[in-house]
Structure 1
Amino acid sequence: MSNPSKPVRPAGAPSALEVLVRDKRFRGADGVLVHAIDEIAFDVPAGSFTTLIGPSGCGKTTTLRIILGLDDDFAGHIRLPEKEGRTAVVFQEPRLLPWRTAEDNVRLALPDAMESENLDDLFAIVGLSEMRNRYPSELSLGLARRVALARAFAIKPSLLLLDEPFVSLDEMTATRLRQLLVTVWSARRTTALMVTHNLREAVQLSDRIVFLTERPARIRGVEVIDRDRSARDADWRERTVRDLDRRYSGVL
């Protein structure tokens, strides 16, 4: 029976990422059985940016691995936005091949059908037009992270997963890269899910924030951020962070 409260998606339109993980367990390095996830269920609406936030070890990265299909030993199901769509991942480290230029590192991710893709606009958006022929050893960590972002967006993914992409950066560099991510994502809109410990980062970037409990993880709450990103100035962000920290104590 259809749900009359749920809008009907037109044929051919992109769908949401749907995540349901129940009772995920694994054995740690010491052989002890770890109960990582009790039950988490959430959607990432098509073309939106959702952030998963929670304490260390609560199962955020485990959830990303399950979505990527790297871990299928769980109860539940994952429904990707497009069955045949491409998924891009931005890791905590840029993971660039040192013997290849910035552009070569980006092009390595392209499928055969896109190998001659013109990347001029993409490199311009990420501010790397003058760095295309530089090697990773010639780039700062901030610039290397830009290359990693360009590599992810170059394949025109239907799903973008980000695993703490700005960790270990100083706050000034991280703030610039967050704004860069918004710029690139707005220009090449895709369904995005990011994992972070940083509530300020989540408030700056997200349409929705999914809060997780400590391990074994459950959904603590979901907050919709409906303010236009251009209006999310520093004062508004700090007020919102304080409000969320009051309601989700211990998240900061």
Structure 2
Amino acid sequence: MQPAGVAPLKVDIVKKTFRSAEGVTIDVLRGLSFEVRQGEFACLLGPSGCGKTTTLRILLGLDREFSGSYQLPEGSPKRIAAVFQEPVLLPWRTVEQNVRIALPPRFKGKDLDSLFEILGLTPVRSLYPSELSLGLARRAALARAFATEPSVLFLDEPFASLDERTAGRLRRLLMTVWAARPTTVLMVTHNLREALLLADRIIVLTPRPARVLGTFDLRLSREFRDTRTLDDLALEFHKRFPDTE
């Protein structure tokens, strides 16, 4: 249940189109409408190319060429954080400097020890991005996002291109830091098992032009979502959404 007086993330995109190099208009989003409750971890799941990343770009204010509207939690665009498929770290700054550069003035002297400890970054605080593995660079990007204490966090397939062992470790770290610093999360993924492991609710999209096909609620505590349980959840999901990938 939504806490009284707290605004959710609300999305109502009537239409979003692109024009191809050949001059052809392509419908990407049409009638895309959903909400993410305060403190909820929601996953936006859909086939590749359906418009998931485009949706995030709109919500981040990076794409204003669309019809419709959206409302951010607490109406505070200054408290938005995002983690993309690439870590996007400044190569001439250390890990700690990359994290601190995103902090607002009132947080400049913030103690980051516990955050670095949770993410296993304490030994590499003084290293530069070129000295990090991709997995460590992804951890630094997560630290930068959570350090700002955002009211909403957008994740665009942050574990893409990682081997499954590394991705699994980072998913667990994400859950640990999110549990310690709960915030509203909307994560884009096309990986069903990842969504089943992380989410409170999965918002399922159709192929392009994307709209909401339905939602899948996950009420089971994450600590009980082991391999067998994920298999059962996946079967249940495919019974409800048989045409999804």
Contact 1:41–1:219 (8 Å) recurs in 2: yes
The reply on whether 1:35 has 2:27 as its aligned counterpart is yes
The reply on whether 1:10 has 2:7 as its aligned counterpart is no
Shift of 1:31: 2.5
Equivalent residues in 2 for 1:87-102 (5 A)? Answer: 87-102=80-95
The reply on whether 1:24 has 2:2 as its aligned counterpart is no
Provide the TM-score with structure 2 as the length reference: 0.95
SS at match of 2:21: coil
Amino acid corresponding to residue 100 of structure 2 in structure 1 = R
Shift of 1:247: 2.7
The partner residue of 1:123 within 101, 116, 122 is: 116
2:58 aligned partner: 66
1:236 aligned partner: 229
Contact 2:197–2:230 (8 Å) recurs in 1: yes
2:47 aligned partner: 55
Amino acid corresponding to residue 47 of structure 2 in structure 1 = P
Task: Tell me how far apart the structure 2 counterparts of residues 47 and 106 of structure 1 sit (CA, whole Å).
Answer: 23
Whose helix fraction is larger, Structure 1's or Structure 2's? Answer: 2
SS at match of 1:157: coil
Cα RMSD (Å) of the superposition? Answer: 1.4
How many equivalent residue pairs? 244
SS at match of 1:130: helix
Structure 2 alignment gaps of length 5 or more = none
Shift of 1:246: 3.5
Contact 2:41–2:198 (8 Å) recurs in 1: yes
1:216 aligned partner: 209
The partner residue of 1:199 within 184, 192, 206 is: 192
Task: Tell me how far apart the structure 1 counterparts of residues 75 and 31 of structure 2 sit (CA, whole Å).
Answer: 24
Task: Tell me how far apart the structure 1 counterparts of residues 215 and 57 of structure 2 sit (CA, whole Å).
Answer: 21
Task: Tell me how far apart the structure 1 counterparts of residues 105 and 199 of structure 2 sit (CA, whole Å).
Answer: 33
Task: Tell me how far apart the structure 2 counterparts of residues 177 and 134 of structure 1 sit (CA, whole Å).
Answer: 19
Structure 1 runs of 4+ aligned residues shifted over 6 Å read none
Contact 2:27–2:208 (8 Å) recurs in 1: yes
Percentage of pairs with the same residue: 55
2:158 aligned partner: 165
**Structure 1 residues 132 and 216, CA, compared in 2 at 3 Å: closer, same or farther?**
same
